[in-house]
Amino acid sequence: MKKYLFPIIAFLILAVLSSCGGGKKVDQVKLLPVKLGKEYQYVDAEGKIIINPQFAEATIFRNGVALVQTSGDKPKWGFIKEDGKFVINATYKSATIFNEDKAWIVNENAAPTCINNKGEILFTLQNAQKVNIYYDGLAAYSIIDSTFEKWGFVDKTGKIKINPQFSKVGGFSNGKCAVANTDGKWGYIDKEGKLVINPQFDDARRFYEGKAVVKSGEKYGLIDESGKYLINAQFSDLIIDGDIFLIKQDGKWGWCDKDGKILINPQFTNAFRFLNNKLTSVESSDKWGYINKEGKIIINPQFDFALSFNGKLALVQSNKKFGFIDIDGKYIVNPQFDEVSKDLMIYMVSGYSAYELIETDFFNVSAITSRLKVENPEGFSFNSTMLEIQTKFKKSNEDFNKYSQEHMMISSEKITNEASLEFYVLGSPWNMSGWDYAFNSNYKPIGFAYKIILSGNGSSKSIELKKAIEANFTGYNKDAANSNEILSVYNNAKQILKIYIQGNSVIVTISPKSTQ
C-alpha cells in the first residue's frame, strides 16, 4: 500500500468513527490479519504466524470466529475458527460478520439470508435491498420502491418489527436508533418504532451511556436521552471518547470535557480516540506520533500512519510497511507487512467492522422474460398497420421520426427495481410527397424491438439475462455461425430474432424472415 494512500485511509477510518459517534468499547485483538505478499495471514502480538497466508480478505476474530474470503479465480466468503479451519465453509458471494450470534449471507443471484453460528439458514429477506447486522435484537434493512430507498427493521425471527419508512437509519443502542425522514431531518425512535426525539437534526449518531452526538446546521453537539443539549452544537465534528470528547475545530482535532471545555487545543491534522489508553495517535506535519491526555507528545511524530493502542501494542506504518510498537514507541514487530486488514484498522479505532452491511444479489430474471412477447410484440404482427399502432399507444403522426426507422412506443416501463423496458416499432411510415413528407397510416412495420435497460444489481447481469431470454425462444433454431456471447441469432419459419448486449442493456429485435 503506497504512502500517498494513507491520508485517504485516515480520512475513511475517521469517517466511520464519525458516522457512529464513538463511544463503543474496543477489546484487545489477539490474532491480527496482515498481508505479506498477495494473501492475508494471521499473526499474534509477537508477529508469529498462527494461520498461514491463504485469504484474499480477512477480518478479526469475534467470539472465536472470523469472516474470510478465499483467494483464486472465484473467491467466496466463509468463517474460520482460531485454528484456521472453516467452521462454516466458504460458499457465499458476500457476508457480514457475526453479531448477536447472527450473520447475513448472500449467495449467487440470491437475496440476503440470516444464518446462525452453525451456518444454518434461519430466514431470507427476499425483497430487501440492503441489510445491516443486528444491534439490540433488530437489524436494519431497506427496500426500493418507486419513490426512494426506505429503511425498516426486522427481529431475529425475520418478523418485520418496524415497517420500512425512513430514508436513512443508524443502529440501535441504549434502546434507541437515529432515523431520518424524507426531508433529511434526523430524530430517534424506540424499539417499537415510536418517535422519542422528534426529527430536528441534520445528522444524528448512536446513543452511548445516555449521550448521543447530533448535528445542527454545520456544527455538532451532544444531547441526552430527552434531546436536551449537554454540549451545544459548536464543533465541526465531535466523537465520544469515554468521559472526554474528540473534537474538530477550524480544521484541526483536539479534545474537550463533558461541558465542552477544551482540554487539548485543536492542533492536529488527524487524531484517533484514547479508548481508555494513556496514549493515542495524532498526525502533525505529515507524520504520526503519540500524545498523552495532557496533550504532551510522548512518542515523537515519525510514522507515516499510526492507530490507537490496542492492549499493549499499536499499529504503525513506516517506509511502506506495517509493524507494531509498544507504549514506549519500541517495535514489538518490525515493519514488514504489506497491508493490514481494513476490518482490523476500523475496529481498532471505532469498535465496528468493515463488514456490517450486505446487499442483495437477487435478480428477478423471470419477471423480465415473462414481460417480453416475441410471438406477438405488444399484441401486434407484421400485418398490423401504423394506424392500429397509433391507436393503441395514443401516438400522433409527429411521434414517428421522419429521419429514423426506430420509433419508441413505450418508454422507461419499470419491470423490477433493476430493469426497465422500452419498446420500438421499426420502419419508415413517412413518404416523400413533392417537397414534403406524407404519413402512411396503412404502412406495415418491418420489425419490432424490446430494449431492457439494467441498473443497480442488474448492471452486471446482462449476459445472464441474455441467456435466460434465449432459453425462452422455443421453436427456434439458433444460427450458430452468426452467434456469440454478445449477439445471438434465432429463426423459425416466420421470423428472425436477434438478441444482443449493448452497454448495460439487452436488446431483442423481431423481424419477418422474408425481409432478411
Give the pLDDT confidence of 81-117 residue by residue, as tens digits: 999 999 999 999 999 999 999 999 999 999 999 999 9
SS (H, E, C) 95-137: ECCCECCEEEEECCCCCCEEECCCCCEEEECCCCCEEEEEECC
Say yes or no to pLDDT of 406 above 50.
Answer: yes
Please, what is the end-to-end C-alpha distance for the chain in angstroms?
57
What pLDDT does residue 118 have? 96
Report the DSSP beta bridge partners of residue 228.
Answer: none
Per-residue pLDDT band for 436 (boundaries 50, 70, 90) equals: confident
Higher pLDDT, 22 or 358: 358
Rounded mean pLDDT, 387-397 = 97
Rounded mean pLDDT, 196-204 = 97
Say yes or no to pLDDT of 203 above 60.
Answer: yes
pTM for the whole thing? 0.86
In a domain, 495, yes or no: yes
Separation between Cα atoms, residue 246 and residue 295, nearest integer Å:
12
Rounded mean pLDDT, 149-154 = 96
What pLDDT does residue 14 have? 75
What pLDDT does residue 40 have? 98
Q: How many CB atoms lie within 10 A of CB 367?
A: 12
In a domain, 466, yes or no: yes
Query: 313, 283, 315: which is closest to 300 by C-alpha?
Result: 283
In a domain, 316, yes or no: no
CB of 184 closer than 8 Å to CB of 200: no
List C-alpha distances in Å: 145 to 21, 269, 340, 420. 30, 42, 39, 13
Lookup: cell for 192: 417499537
Rounded mean pLDDT, 182-188 = 96
What pLDDT does residue 8 have? 62
What pLDDT does residue 506 have? 97
Rounded mean pLDDT, 138-146 = 90
Residue with cell 437515529: 178
Say yes or no to pLDDT of 144 above 90.
Answer: no
Rounded mean pLDDT, 386-410 = 96
Higher pLDDT, 478 or 2: 478
Rounded mean pLDDT, 369-378 = 96
Lookup: cell for 316: 504503525
> 3-class DSSP state for residue 20?
helix
Least confident of 14-23, 203-212, 364-373, 396-405: 14-23
- Report DSSP letters for 410-429, one per residue: EEEEEEETTEEEEEEEES--
What pLDDT does residue 3 have? 43
What pLDDT does residue 7 have? 55
Lookup: cell for 486: 454478445
In a domain, 104, yes or no: no
CB of 95 closer than 8 Å to CB of 67: yes
In a domain, 477, yes or no: yes
In a domain, 437, yes or no: yes
Rounded mean pLDDT, 284-292 = 96
The fraction of the chain above a pLDDT of 90, given in percent, is: 90
Mean pLDDT, the chain, integer: 94
In a domain, 443, yes or no: yes
What pLDDT does residue 1 have? 40
Phi, psi of 172 (to 5 degrees): -70, 140
Q: What is the pLDDT of residues 53-72, one digit of tens each?
A: 999 999 999 999 999 999 98
Rounded mean pLDDT, 459-471 = 94
What pLDDT does residue 456 have? 84
- For the chain, what is the domain count? 1
Q: Structural domain of residue 501, as residue ranges? A: 365-515
Query: 130, 179, 147, 140: which is closest to 161 by C-alpha?
Result: 140
List C-alpha distances in Å: 106 to 102, 201, 360, 435. 14, 34, 7, 63
In a domain, 439, yes or no: yes
> 3-class DSSP state for residue 343?
helix
Q: What is the pLDDT of residues 1-35, one digit of tens each?
A: 444 445 566 677 777 777 888 888 899 999 999 99
